[in-house]
Homo-oligomer: A and B are copies of this chain.
Amino acid sequence: MPSIRHEVLIGAPAEHVYRALTTQEGLAAWWTPDSHAIPARETIARFGFGPDYFKEMIITGLEPSKTVDWRCVKGADEWVGTTISFELHPGDPQTLSKSHPELADQIQQQDGSAQETLVVLQHDGWREQTPMFAECNYTWAQFLRSLKSLCETGEGQPWPHQHALQPRMAKARR
């Protein structure tokens, strides 16, 4: 079964990333402003993307500063039934370099934060490797970049600007 995997290094403590992944304020600042969620297991979180589309996720697992698990229950047909998990692995650059040698470039390109967090995204249960799978894979990476930006600078790049190359200019033009 095809699945999406991403690894992104964020220059912030795991507690900080966990808040961005579980609170309404955090989710609104990197994914979509129209987020409705509370950090509690077995609740349903709702994410709107304009007037005509939304996704609903059951929060199936929460382990503070460690894991966030969702199961999609409403949304595009290809998404329903898929599961999404975010795993957080905190550490200083030296420790992460040893446990995760694949992160060498990302660690080198950080500005040397003392506390960093590796976020592993897994989006499983896709039935096929469709065009939507490929588009969502690219777009997840842009939203993860938005999450990184939020946690490192205080400003994310949520929908509908996740693909903008220069968000401020893009906003000014609208």
- Chain A interface size, under 10 / 10 to 19 / 20 to 34 / 35 or more: 35 or more
Report chain B residues within 8 Å CB of A7.
131, 134-135, 137-138
A127 within 8 A of B: no
Please report the C-alpha to C-alpha distance between residue A122 and residue B163 in the assembled complex, in whole angstroms. 20
Report chain B residues within 8 Å CB of A8.
138
How many monomers of this protein are in the complex?
2
Q: Establish whether residues B144 and A138, one from each chain, have CB atoms under 8 Å apart when the complex forms.
A: yes
Q: Establish whether residues B138 and A103, one from each chain, have CB atoms under 8 Å apart when the complex forms.
A: no
A132 within 8 A of B: yes
Q: Return the chain B residue nearest A119 by Cβ.
A: B138
Report chain B residues within 8 Å CB of A100.
131, 135
Q: Return the chain B residue nearest A120 by Cβ.
A: B134
Q: Return the chain B residue nearest A139 by Cβ.
A: B105
Which listed segment binds B: A14-22, A37-45, A67-75, A145-153?
Answer: A145-153
Q: Return the chain B residue nearest A136 by Cβ.
A: B102
Report chain B residues within 8 Å CB of A137.
4-7, 137, 141
Please report the C-alpha to C-alpha distance between residue A153 and residue B140 in the assembled complex, in whole angstroms. 23
What residues of chain A have their CB less than 8 Å away from a CB belonging to chain B?
3-9, 49, 100, 102-103, 105-106, 108-111, 120, 129-142, 144-145, 148-149, 152-153, 159-165, 170, 173
